[in-house]
Amino acid sequence: MTAGREVIVAANWKMNTRPSDAGQLALEIAHRTAVDGVSRVICPPFVCLSAVREAVAGEGVGIGAQNVHDQLAGAYTGEVSAPMLVGLAEWVIVGHSERRRDFGETDDLIARKARRVLEAGLRPILCVGEQLIDRDAGRASEVVGGQLRGSLAGISAESAVAGGLVVAYEPVWAIGTGRTARGADAGAMADSIRQTIADVGWGEAANGVPVLYGGSVTSASIGEFLAEPSLDGALVGGASLKPEEMAAIVGRAGIVARERRAVASR
Marked catalytic residue, from 96, 98, 105, 228: 96
Residues 6+ apart with CB under 8 A from 218: 239, 245, 249
Catalytic residue among 90, 98, 105, 170: 170
Q: At what angle do helices 107-119 and 140-151 cross, to 10 degrees?
A: 50
Q: Is 96 noted as a catalytic residue in this protein?
A: yes
d(CA 151, CA 199): 14
Contact of 42 with 53, CB cutoff 8 Å: no
Q: Which of 54, 58, 30, 57 is nearest to 42 (CA)?
A: 30
- Residue 241 to residues 39, 116, 144, 169, 217, Cα–Cα distance (Å): 17, 28, 28, 20, 12
User: How far apart, in whole angstroms, are the C-alpha atoms of residue 250 and residue 266?
Assistant: 25
Active-site residues: which are they? Answer: 96, 170
